[in-house]
A and B are shown apart, each in its own frame.
Chain A
Amino acid sequence: MDYIYLAIVFPLLGLLVNGFFGRRMTRRAVGTIASLAILGSFAVSLVAFFDYLDAGEAARSIILLPWISLPPLEISYGFLVDGLSLVMALAVSLVSFLIHVYSTGYMADDDGYPRYFAYLNLFVAMMLTLVLADNLVLMFVGWEGVGLCSYLLIGFWYKRAAPSVAGLKAFVVNRIGDFAFLIGVFLVFWLYGTFRFTELRQSVETVALAGHLPITLIALFLFGGAIGKSAQFPLYVWLPDAMEGPTPVSALIHAATMVTAGVYMVSRMSFLYSMTEVAMLVVACVGAFTAIFAASIALVQNDIKRVLAYSTVSQLGYMFLAAGLGAYWIAIFHLFTHAFFKALLFLASGSVIHGVRGEMDMRKMGGLAKYMPHTYWHFLIGAMSISGIPLLAGFFSKDQILFAAFTSRPGIWPHAGMVLWVVGVVTALFTAFYMFRQIYLVFLTKPRFDTDEIHPHEAPASMIVPNWFLAVGSVFAGYIGLPALFAGILSLPNVFQPFVSGALAGAGHVAEAAHGAQELIKEVLTTSISVVVALVGLGLAFYLYQVRYGVTEKLKKAFAAPYRVLLNKYYVDEFYNATFVQPGRVMCEQLSRAVDLGIIDGIVNAVAFVIGALGQILRPIQTGFVRNYAWYIGGGAVLLVILLWLGLGAK
């Protein structure tokens, strides 16, 4: 498995070729090279996957090159190949490849075509660095690298103001989380003297420091980074704005891969989190709160992509909920299925936007199903999967999260499991509702656009074909990690959990393996509730937007105040603006006047003045006569010799 670094090298080569020569090549060549580079990564990951199975699923750490060697500090370009990183690498490269292919159609008429693919390749390289790294520092390199690509791609249409501002916002907000993350990384080194996951795990598990304050602090600081990168409350504000970027970027970076980095990091450090119940509970609570908070905002948004953005935030909350309960493999499993159906939803929404000439407001759509049947099916499959309609991928993963919450009894707050479960169920209701609200508004109700002006059309084949692959994934990805109930019925064993569990800590306080009769009854109960909730959400959307179309206007008037709060996203942006941004701006203005103009410029000007004055004094020496200069040289040489003698004499 020493060749695993090739998975990173291929996209980097794609970046170099497209970055330097992209403008001189045809668009077809640019798109093909970029896609093939990612296909190469996928192939490498796949080969590594089979080698890993052959090798008896033994985790391997491969050191490619030393990077910083200052004993006791040893950091290398090392890659860790185990179940967790392989699952991530496979999911990332596969989804990335499909989105690359989709992009060749979506971006076909864009001026920045080579630039776009260069950024996209760099992103994949960085994401794979993040998931394959065998130490925290290299992981941080990937972490920042994907952040950079996110910034570049959100602001891809930099000539317009909104994308540039959104890119900046994403970068700055992430910086806050990354700062916490860095502190966590430094604390890890301070406490354990190593950055490598394998060594770290050994020291954490042998030195019994469970529940100690430093571990809790490290866990919380690292989680701070995850909050920023994975858009959790309170740092989620950048993700909805990130929708200003091209839609495939939203699908790849802001739904399927980058934003899940936080979940991956928490799972990778699960041995640490398992030592501290406080941090675990914080993770779970933040996740659950974010899930319901974002889902409630998504209920009333009108922008097709913003709904999906808040939906992503909400689903990431689910993943943290699972991770916080100690069900790390379920978090990764939901991450895995979510990558398929959320990428599918975004790409389908991209096809919609493409088909109606850039319109994103769902109030100006409607009835598009007959114009774009493929896209309708894609969106429907994605929506059913995320809403938890039975037997689709999202159903299995989300159901297990809810079950984990239902059965968990965290030591410091035994009732937390039940509370979190209720929150999760309500979120599931919201999810089903806003997804089908979207289906009705976009595809099924009567057209609300000027049919003479706009002629919606189906997307080209390059965009439809990848979506079908993702649709297949959205339906069947769940069958590799079935919950015990369905695994028994369908006699399909859960292969996902044992595969990734080697890299994860013990399941904490979630009942594991003990699937007795009582467990089975609980599982049937929670599963039925989930199904009912999903169907209720679906039915509500059907009633409000199909049966009694137009009733929503009356509801808006009846519940004007709550509606306005939701529509304005709880005024969080306004709050941040008033408390952080504006005071910061005022402070900067003052500082720029007092410190920059006064002190800094003053110093610079003073230096310039002194040098000018010196120049005036020395000016007469430069007479312009060569013979004078010759005299200076001779005199200087003689003086130097005499001084040398004097110096030697002094010795």
Chain B
Amino acid sequence: MESIVTYSLVLSAVLFTMGVLAVLVRRNPLIMFMGIELMLNAANLAFIAFARHLDKLDGQVIALIFMAVAAAEVAIGLAIIVSIYRFRRDVDVDAVNSLRG
């Protein structure tokens, strides 16, 4: 396999893991959210790398649609975070635990 594709895939795995880490350890919802964005980008990278490897456009198309989905997700997610800020005046996701069983 072409080396550039291999490196890109490994990079994608590492970036994805970093995104997971951000979601798991940070308490600031904005940074957790950035972690999610990072995960999405890692997936995009993998798609584009495979598109290159397989010589097919489909991976790129999916990456493009992913971007649109990510944009939609950001709009909604940020709106929710803004609502929570307004309501609680706090920046800690651990404080939002009223659904505790």
Q: Identify the A interface with B (CB < 8 A).
A: 618-627, 630-631, 634
Closest approach, in angstroms, between the C-beta of B23 and any C-beta of chain A?
Answer: 5
- The residue on A at minimum CB distance from B27 is A627
Chain A residues with CB under 8 Å of B32's CB are 626-627, 630
Please measure, in the bound complex, the distance between the C-alpha atom of A612 and the C-alpha atom of B29, giving whole angstroms. 34
- The residue on A at minimum CB distance from B26 is A627
Decide yes or no whether B98 CB sits under 8 A from chain A.
yes
Residue from A618, A621, A622, A627 having most chain B Cβ neighbours under 10 A: A627
| New contact pairs (19) apart from A624-B100, A626-B32, CB-CB < 8 Å | A618-B101, A620-B101, A622-B99, A622-B100, A623-B97, A623-B100, A623-B101, A624-B98, A624-B101, A625-B97, A626-B96, A627-B25, A627-B27, A627-B32, A627-B93, A630-B23, A630-B32, A634-B20, A634-B24
- The residue on B at minimum CB distance from A630 is B23
Closest approach, in angstroms, between the C-beta of B36 and any C-beta of chain A?
Answer: 10
Chain B residues with CB under 8 Å of A621's CB are 101
B23 touches A627 (CB 8 A): yes
Closest approach, in angstroms, between the C-beta of A141 and any C-beta of chain B?
Answer: 51
- The residue on A at minimum CB distance from B35 is A630
B99 touches A627 (CB 8 A): no
Chain B residues with CB under 8 Å of A620's CB are 101
Closest approach, in angstroms, between the C-beta of A615 and any C-beta of chain B?
Answer: 9
CB within 8 Å of A: which B70-86 residues: none
B97 touches A619 (CB 8 A): no
Task: Classify the secondary structure of A's interface with B.
Answer: helix
- The residue on B at minimum CB distance from A627 is B24
Closest approach, in angstroms, between the C-beta of A345 and any C-beta of chain B?
Answer: 73
Closest approach, in angstroms, between the C-beta of A51 and any C-beta of chain B?
Answer: 62
Chain A residues with CB under 8 Å of B98's CB are 624
Chain A residues with CB under 8 Å of B94's CB are 625-627
Q: Identify the B interface with A (CB < 8 A).
A: 20, 23-25, 27, 32, 93-94, 96-101
**Among all A-B residue pairs, the 7 with the closest Cβ atoms:** A624-B100, A624-B97, A622-B101, A619-B101, A626-B93, A630-B23, A624-B99
Closest approach, in angstroms, between the C-beta of B68 and any C-beta of chain A?
Answer: 24
Please measure, in the bound complex, the distance between the C-alpha atom of A630 and the C-alpha atom of B19, giving whole angstroms. 12
Please measure, in the bound complex, the distance between the C-alpha atom of A630 and the C-alpha atom of B93, giving whole angstroms. 12
25 contacts between A and B (CB under 8 A): A618-B101, A619-B101, A620-B101, A622-B99, A622-B100, A623-B97, A623-B100, A623-B101, A624-B97, A624-B99, A624-B101, A625-B93, A626-B32, A626-B94, A626-B96, A627-B23, A627-B25, A627-B27, A627-B93, A627-B94, A630-B23, A630-B24, A630-B32, A634-B20, A634-B24
Please measure, in the bound complex, the distance between the C-alpha atom of A308 and the C-alpha atom of B96, giving whole angstroms. 77
Please measure, in the bound complex, the distance between the C-alpha atom of A624 and the C-alpha atom of B94, giving whole angstroms. 8
Residue from B32, B94, B97, B101 having most chain A Cβ neighbours under 10 A: B101
Chain A residues with CB under 8 Å of B100's CB are 622-624
Closest approach, in angstroms, between the C-beta of B81 and any C-beta of chain A?
Answer: 12
Chain B residues with CB under 8 Å of A622's CB are 99-101
Please measure, in the bound complex, the distance between the C-alpha atom of A364 and the C-alpha atom of B39, giving whole angstroms. 92
Closest approach, in angstroms, between the C-beta of A468 and any C-beta of chain B?
Answer: 74
A631 touches B101 (CB 8 A): no
Please measure, in the bound complex, the distance between the C-alpha atom of A67 and the C-alpha atom of B78, giving whole angstroms. 55
- The residue on B at minimum CB distance from A634 is B20
Chain A residues with CB under 8 Å of B20's CB are 634
Chain A residues with CB under 8 Å of B93's CB are 625-627
- The residue on A at minimum CB distance from B36 is A630
Closest approach, in angstroms, between the C-beta of B6 and any C-beta of chain A?
Answer: 20
Please measure, in the bound complex, the distance between the C-alpha atom of A631 and the C-alpha atom of B24, giving whole angstroms. 6
Please measure, in the bound complex, the distance between the C-alpha atom of A598 and the C-alpha atom of B24, giving whole angstroms. 51
Closest approach, in angstroms, between the C-beta of B63 and any C-beta of chain A?
Answer: 21
Please measure, in the bound complex, the distance between the C-alpha atom of A620 and the C-alpha atom of B101, giving whole angstroms. 6
Please measure, in the bound complex, the distance between the C-alpha atom of A126 and the C-alpha atom of B25, giving whole angstroms. 70
Closest approach, in angstroms, between the C-beta of A639 and any C-beta of chain B?
Answer: 14
Chain A residues with CB under 8 Å of B24's CB are 627, 630-631, 634
Closest approach, in angstroms, between the C-beta of B76 and any C-beta of chain A?
Answer: 16
Please measure, in the bound complex, the distance between the C-alpha atom of A509 and the C-alpha atom of B24, giving whole angstroms. 95
Please measure, in the bound complex, the distance between the C-alpha atom of A463 and the C-alpha atom of B34, giving whole angstroms. 81
Please measure, in the bound complex, the distance between the C-alpha atom of A625 and the C-alpha atom of B98, giving whole angstroms. 9
Please measure, in the bound complex, the distance between the C-alpha atom of A487 and the C-alpha atom of B93, giving whole angstroms. 100
Closest approach, in angstroms, between the C-beta of B91 and any C-beta of chain A?
Answer: 13
- The residue on A at minimum CB distance from B23 is A630
